[in-house]
Structures are given as structure tokens and as C-alpha cells.
Amino acid sequence: MRGQRLNLIRWLNCISILFLLAAAAPSVPAKAKTPQNRIKGSIRFELYRGYLMVTTGSVGPLKGLHFLLDTGTSTTLLDERVARKLELDGLPEEVNVVFFKGAVRAVHSWAPSIEIGPLRVFHRPVLINDLSALDDALPVHIDGIIGLDVLGQTPFEVDYRNRRIHFGPLPHLPVSIPLTREQGLAMVDVQVNHATAHLIFDTGTPSLLIFRSKLSKIFAGLKMPKGSRGAGAQSQAGNLSFPNIQLGDAEFVQQRAILAESRDEYGRDFDGVLSPAALRIDAFAVDLDTGQLELRMGL
């Protein structure tokens, strides 16, 4: 069971950061974005494993599909089976994987429409890939992974406590921090042991992950995980407990994190991945147009 969980985490981390492809995907016409003031409403989601949000929606004429909602994915993915039903054509190519050396085959295509509750977008670029690796880990088959390219069409709030995602104008939450969109992803600056870490805000992973080579000064004086061989050596990912992490006005003490080797060969400018589930964030709101991330901490 532990091996299955680790494989799931590795696959989800890979799939989240694999698709840092907003720049590589076909450009989206400006008219594809629906005016924000026309999108209002909410939809319920199921929460699996404490962090994976799954809701239902449609692609073109296909209704009742199960979607994983993931802010750590820049370009929405559709499962190969959905693409076959829709008879989607596309251009296959090899896509570099950040966490692992090598490449994965994916297909660039266009979805006629994608609908989740009140949110509906048309003629969207998507990536087609085999998502069957999730079948053994979740009680429902995942037909697609909805990324920030679709979710970010309007401000949205994820309410973990009530299992709802709200679209449209939102009330303010207690903690507010700047957010930037880079290569299609939501990025935040976090103070880790009083050093700045530039992290992906990623709902699709359960852990705080820091790349060893990016923030060597953070690790000075910390007790390294058993079996690791120092900051400059290649070693397996280990667990750490950081004395202090600051996210806006919110402070986290003795926060556990995964220390991983960085794959820098593809020029990705980030220091790791921030999971709201790992910090026990109760709700968060994202507004890409104003560049704001707001948080409510759990009780």
C-alpha cells in the first residue's frame, strides 16, 4: 500500500509539472475567454486522499465525465478514451518531464468545449494522454485533468471544508499574498527559514516539495534525512522538518517537506511545489487578473 501511495504521488507530481506547456501549446484566441462578470456559481467536488479534488463536467457532447481539478497543471489534459469518443485529431510529440529524465508522448489537440458547473470555455487547446494510472488509486475513472488554463478564466475559491468550488467575484479571505502566472502556472514566494522560495501553488500534490540544489542556504544547519549524502550529491528524496515557513501573515512551524533533486535541464525557474493540503489550508481563492492568492487556515 505504501509503495502504491508513493507511486501515485510520484505520478501526480510528474503529471502536474510535466505539463508546464502553456507556451508550447497552440495559442488561444482572446475571444476564447469569457468575461469574468458573466461567470457566477459553484459546484461540489469530492475530496480523495485529503487533497485530490474530483468533480463532474462535460467535454463537447460527452456529459457526466469525472475531472481532477489541479492548479499545478498548466494545460488541461483529456484521457485517450475521451479523445477517441470525440474523434479528436492532434499532433503527437515528446514532452519533457521535469522530475525524471526522458520524455513522454502526448498529443496536442483542441476540445470543442469544456464545462464545469457555471464555467464553460470553447475551442480550448488540450493535451491527450493515457490517464489510466489513476484508476487503481481513485474510486472513479478520471476522464480529464482540468488545469489552470480553464480554472483561471475567472476568479475562483476552493472551499475544502464544504467541498465546493465557487466561480466569480469572491469575498476576501484572512491571508492575502501576491501571485504570479508563469508558464501557465500559479507561482508564489514563500519564506522558508527566512530565505525566499519561488514555488508552484499545486493542489495536485500532497506535500511541500523543495529542490535541494535551488535553496542550498535553507538547508545549512538542518539535519539531513537518513541516507542523504549532502546538498551537492545526488541522493534519494528525503523528509525534512523546516523550523519556519512564512506565507504572507501565516506562519508554519516545524513544517514537513520532501527534499528532492532538481531537474534543471529544461530551464524551469521554480524552487519547488507548495501543496495547500500539506499546510492544512481550509480554503483559498485565486484571481489571476489581479495577481492575488487569499487563504483561510484550518482550525
Which domain, by its residues, includes 86?
A: 2-167
Tell whether 234 and 115 lie within a shared domain.
Answer: no
Q: Is residue 177 within 8 Å of residue 164, measured between CB atoms?
A: no
CA 4 to CA 168: how far, in whole Å?
37
Tell whether 132 and 149 lie within a shared domain.
Answer: yes
Burial class (CB in 10 A: 0-12, 13-18, 19+), 164: middle
CA 155 to CA 137: how far, in whole Å?
30
Tell whether 91 and 229 lie within a shared domain.
Answer: no
CA 113 to CA 182: how far, in whole Å?
25
SS3 content of the chain, % helix, strand, coil (to 5): 15, 45, 40
Which pLDDT value is given to residue 231?
Answer: 39
* CATH number of 250's domain: 2.40.70.10
Tell whether 156 and 19 lie within a shared domain.
Answer: yes
Tell whether 27 and 86 lie within a shared domain.
Answer: yes
Tell whether 27 and 48 lie within a shared domain.
Answer: yes
Tell whether 136 and 205 lie within a shared domain.
Answer: no
CA 124 to CA 51: how far, in whole Å?
26
Tell whether 198 and 139 lie within a shared domain.
Answer: no
Which pLDDT value is given to residue 270?
Answer: 82
Q: Is residue 77 within 8 Å of residue 131, measured between CB atoms?
A: yes
CA 4 to CA 136: how far, in whole Å?
9
Q: How many domains does the chain have?
A: 2
Tell whether 128 and 57 lie within a shared domain.
Answer: yes
Tell whether 157 and 275 lie within a shared domain.
Answer: no
Q: Is residue 185 within 8 Å of residue 200, measured between CB atoms?
A: yes
Which pLDDT value is given to residue 98?
Answer: 43
Burial class (CB in 10 A: 0-12, 13-18, 19+), 290: exposed
The whole-number mean pLDDT for each consecutive block of 10 residues of the chain, a chain of 299 residues, reads 45 49 40 58 95 96 96 91 94 57 72 96 92 88 95 95 92 91 90 84 89 64 49 48 85 82 58 90 94 88
Which pLDDT value is given to residue 125?
Answer: 93
**Report field, pTM of the whole predicted structure over 0.85:** no
> Among 167, 197, 214, which residue terminates a domain?
167
Tell whether 93 and 221 lie within a shared domain.
Answer: no
> Among 167, 201, 230, which residue terminates a domain?
167
